[in-house]
Amino acid sequence: MKSERLWLLSLLLAAVLGGTALPLAAADTLRPEVGKPLQAAQQLIKDQKYQEALAKVTETDAVPNKTPYEKFIIERMRGAAASGAGDSDTAARAFDAVITSGKLGHDEELKLMQAMAGSFYRSKEYAKALSWAQRYQKAGGNDPDMNTLIAQSYYLSGDYANAARELQDQVAASEKSGKALSEAELQLLASCYLKQNDKAGYARALQQLLAYYPKKEYWADVLTQIQRKPGFSDRLTLDVYRLMLATGNMTQAADYMEMAQLAVQAGFPIEAQQVINQGYASKALGTGAEAARQKRLKDLVDKQAADDQKAPVIDPQALAKRGAEAMVATGYNLILNGKTDQGITLMQQGIAQGNLKHPEDAKLHLGEAYLRAGKSAEANKILKTVQGADGTQDLAHLWTIHSHAS
């Protein structure tokens, strides 16, 4: 805290004692009764004896008939001494007088406004910090740190709606410039929505965090939020597990077991085998009281996977007669078995044929298939077309984020 105050003081002194005022007229001089105590105050400030310096400045208050220039210099010195002494209110009044005097250069005015915003923020007087920061911006200041200070001041004063609005404006501006907000700022945005119980806003903020800072913990939170979203379909649970696996969030034995069983039910024994094998490799499976049950599932999955790989060559014409659903599912299974090009072609043909019960699911799975094949450009192209308020569009968007982060 002491180092922050010293930093702030150095900024104030640079603006007040080292700033360049406007050209002085011939009458811009200090009478001895004003100049002498101010000279002493200046030395005391340099010696970091701020209270004594403030007392010296106060001596000039008794001098009658002060000129505008004398008032200007007195308030400059008073502001510097008060800042050093930690008296933000006195400093604010003094610097307000300095700014409104019209005798300070524009750059110095901005520095004073910025410094006072920081001073009040550090003293936890957030309303005053906001006032000075907004005054700084209105005067043409464009330091991005002031945007952050404004958002944090709103947040710390309990005005989460305005804090979120400010941060979201910064997100929009950063996206236009191609630069991401800091992780801390995006975390603050997420917290703003959480404080307001705005679940949709919180989910958006988490996805913005993922886009730039794709950490395992954020993935876990986003996937949990999506499943809690009104209207989310349970038929997409396997797709959620696929993202959990891809982002390193499969840690529990129960998750490995359920994903494997869902994959078997969907007709993808090879995928189930891959999941089980990863569970054993991570030591999540194969130990403890459930080890025997886990081994039985592994044996079943291994047998089905082996049978699947021995299946006869697929006749596309015969498969087409079974319908689009069979074509899409069989195509995805071919990809899992390493027959990428054949599988993707079959999925595309099934989607083109139409009459699918869940056409958006098919496009989602085609996007996943492209990613498995290492074709991220094609994957992102199809994933952007996925619609649906039941979770399909959300999952497609998350796969797009993951492909960019991989």
What digits encode the pLDDT tens for the residues 79-122?
A: 889 988 888 889 889 988 988 888 888 998 898 899 889 888 98
Three-state DSSP state, 104: strand
Reported as a pLDDT band with limits 50, 70 and 90, residue 167 is: very high
Residue 259 pLDDT more than 90? yes
Distance CA 132, CA 127 (A): 9
Report residue 176's pLDDT band, with 50, 70 and 90 as the boundaries: confident
Encode pLDDT of 271-286 as tens digits.
999 999 999 999 999 9
3-class SS letters over 117-175 = HHHHHHCCCHHHHHHHHHHHHHCCCCCHHHHHHHHHHHHHCCCHHHHHHHHHHHHHHHH
Residues 297-345 pLDDT 10s: 999 999 999 998 887 667 777 777 788 999 999 999 999 998 999 999 9
Region of residue 335 (left: phi > 0; alpha: psi -120 to 50; beta: else): alpha
Query: What average pLDDT does this structure show over 257-283?
Result: 96
The Cα 96–Cα 75 span in angstroms is: 9
Check residue 7 and give its pLDDT: 46
Structure tokens at 87: 């008296």
Q: How distant is the alpha carbon of residue 368 from its chain centre?
A: 26
With a pLDDT cut of 90, the percent of the chain lying above it is: 65
- Whether 351 shows a pLDDT value over 50: the answer reads yes
pLDDT recorded at residue 302: 96
Domain 2-136 in CATH 3.40.50.720? The answer is: no
Is 1's pLDDT higher than 50? Answer: no
Contact criterion met (CB below 8 Å) for 54 and 85: yes
- Answer yes or no: is pLDDT of 3 > 50: no
Q: What is the pLDDT of residue 181?
A: 82
Note the pLDDT of residue 223: 94
Residue pair 238/266 in contact (Cβ under 8 Å)? The answer is yes
pLDDT grade for 20, boundaries at 50, 70 and 90: very low
Backbone angles phi, psi at 362, to 5 degrees: -65, -40
* Residue 174 confidence class, pLDDT cut points 50, 70, 90: confident
Structure tokens at 75: 């308030």
The percentage of residues in the chain with a pLDDT greater than 70, rounded to a whole number, is: 92
Give how far Cα 230 sits from Cα of 196, 225, 233, 312, 357, Å.
Answer: 18, 10, 9, 43, 21
Domain boundaries defined on the chain: 2-136, 160-213
